[in-house]
Amino acid sequence: MQRRTFLNGMLAVGLSGPWLHTLAADMSSEGDDSTVDLLPTDQLPLGADLRDLPLLANQTAVKGQFKATLVAAPFNLALAGGLQTEFWGYNHSLPGPLIEVFEGDTVEIVFVNQLKQPSTIHWHGLPIPPEQDGNPQQAVPPGGQITYRFTLPMGSAGTYWYHPHPHHYTAEQAFRGMAGPLVVRSRQDPLAGIPERKLMISDLKLDAHGTIPPNDSNDWMNGREGQFALVNAQYQPVLHFDRGGRERWRVWNACSARYLLLHLPEHSLTLVGTDGGLIEHPIAGLSEYLLAPGQRAELIIDAGTPRGSPSMMALAYDRGKMGDVAPEQDVALFSVDFSQVGDSQLQALPDNLATIADLGPVKAHKQVVFTEQMDMQNESGGMLFLINGKQYDMQRIDLTSKVNEVELWELVNQADMDHPFHLHGTQFQIIERERDGQVTTEPFRARRDIVNLKSGDTVRIKTVQHWPGLRMFHCHVLEHETMGMMAQLKVE
């Protein structure tokens, strides 16, 4: 699909406002998509030792409290030789600094916006009140600031992250670098003695001048994927494995649209945690594990044999992209150096990791349907991304729920592409999946805030909201969210 055709399609269906004119300028300033020369992948240095994520310092010594400041601002980094790239980020860090806190802590973060766009911080996955969760209605203007305050409930230990959520601007702020990891810990963690790695995977698109280009029509249609997949902001680094022979990896998919079908050749993966923390029992012997955009996982990796230097791969995954696109390919993320591992005997993992109780009797039902629609007015080919037949409207309430009332949501993907569903402010439990009339019960109980829906899938989840206010639910392909695949839930 050509850039001009896509834009005409949006105009034909009545999209308007300042944001559309900005988007139109971005999409028309460079002519056809093919005129943007991308930086060759061999121009970015690779093979450096994997760095630890930078840590956000706690500014108070008071037990049970965490106070800090996050400043969103442009900054320059030289990633490709002498080419300077302007990123947007938190505290001049790529990715944003790691926040580590404990269940029960009271968190106070001052957010200062030094961008030329409004922004927010969405605390992705955290069970916190909606007025502290950076909704689009709470956008902080350029030069402004806000203080987020919340207390983390017991049982909320897990692997989370933070990123912007201003309407119309989320996708751009994310692909320019605005995302950071957040870990909530438990003081009774059964896996606390295992050496831990934190691996935040993101996309980067650079043009031939080392500049981050705006989205083209293919990015808006399929979701943006850069030519570089970074780990902790490094290109294909080397992870030197712990000499004890076992590690616990927390993995974030912080990409706008790239799916990560993780595979480590000649090694198996053991799943011990999902978005919202540990699962009930380890699931060993996995040859691959899929992370949709926004999802996280905790994996146990044993050195085993042989002890070479395999590459962790994101295997080719067909998510149903539209238009004239290149075939999916395997992507190397990082290599793992097992050469220094000793011959120590590994103990069996605990069989019981967590207790995850059923949420209880269902009091209400809801249905959410994802659709895509091609608009052919005036021979245009503009795509619409819809929830329950509608594009996002900040002034409209789409669904209502009651505080502490357990609901069964039926999530239906009638679109041609995969769409990852995300619900703000709570964790949900997947009950069953249906495809081609066949219903499959979810094989294990887990806490999640994102579930992927392949074309034709129906997924049923149990969920409950614990605070009144406004919540978002949307596709976590950020371009699709920006183009309208988002809706609002009012909790009363």
pLDDT band of 19, cuts 50, 70, 90: very low
For 347-374, write each residue's pLDDT tens digit.
999 999 999 999 999 999 999 999 998 8
259: left (phi over 0), alpha (psi -120 to 50) or beta: beta
Sequential DSSP letters for 432-446: EEEETTEEEE-SS--
Q: Report d(CA 364, CA 361) in Å as an integer.
A: 9
* Residue in the structure block whose two tokens are 């935040």: 200
Sequential DSSP letters for 215-254: P-HHHHHH----SEEEETTEES-EEE--TTSEEEEEEEE-
474 burial class (0-12, 13-18, 19+ CB within 10 angstroms)?
buried
Per-residue pLDDT, averaged over 317-333, amounts to 95
Non-local (6+) Cβ contacts of 219 within 8 A are 225, 479
Q: Report d(CA 389, CA 156) in Å as an integer.
A: 34
What average pLDDT does the structure give for the chain? 91
Q: Which of 104-113, 156-165, 236-245, 299-308 has the lowest mean pLDDT?
A: 299-308
* Residue in the structure block whose two tokens are 């999946």: 433
Per-residue pLDDT, averaged over 254-280, amounts to 97
Q: Report d(CA 389, CA 415) in Å as an integer.
A: 11
pLDDT band of 31, cuts 50, 70, 90: very low
pLDDT band of 35, cuts 50, 70, 90: low
Q: Which CATH number fits domain 196-337: 1.10.10.350, 3.40.640.10, 2.60.40.420, 3.40.50.970?
A: 2.60.40.420
Q: Which residues pair with 444 in a beta bridge?
A: none
Considering only the C-alpha atoms of the chain, give the largest distance between any 2 of them, rounded to a whole number of Å.
Answer: 69
Q: What is the pLDDT of residue 375?
A: 65
Q: Which of 3-7, 21-25, 85-89 has the lowest mean pLDDT?
A: 3-7
Q: Report d(CA 89, CA 67) in Å as an integer.
A: 19
Q: Could you give the angle at the alpha carbon of 289 between the alpha carbons of 355 and 96, nearest 5°?
A: 85
Q: Report d(CA 295, CA 452) in Å as an integer.
A: 9
Query: Could you tell me the two tokens for 159?
Result: 């692997």
We find that the CATH architecture of domain 364-491 is Sandwich (2.60)
CB atoms within 10 A of CB 49: 10
Domain range annotation of the chain = 3-35, 196-337, 364-491
Q: What is the pLDDT of residue 6?
A: 40
pLDDT band of 36, cuts 50, 70, 90: confident
| Pair 170, 199: CB distance under 8 Å | no
* 144 vs 18 pLDDT, higher one: 144
275 burial class (0-12, 13-18, 19+ CB within 10 angstroms)?
buried
Q: Report d(CA 225, CA 229) in Å as an integer.
A: 9
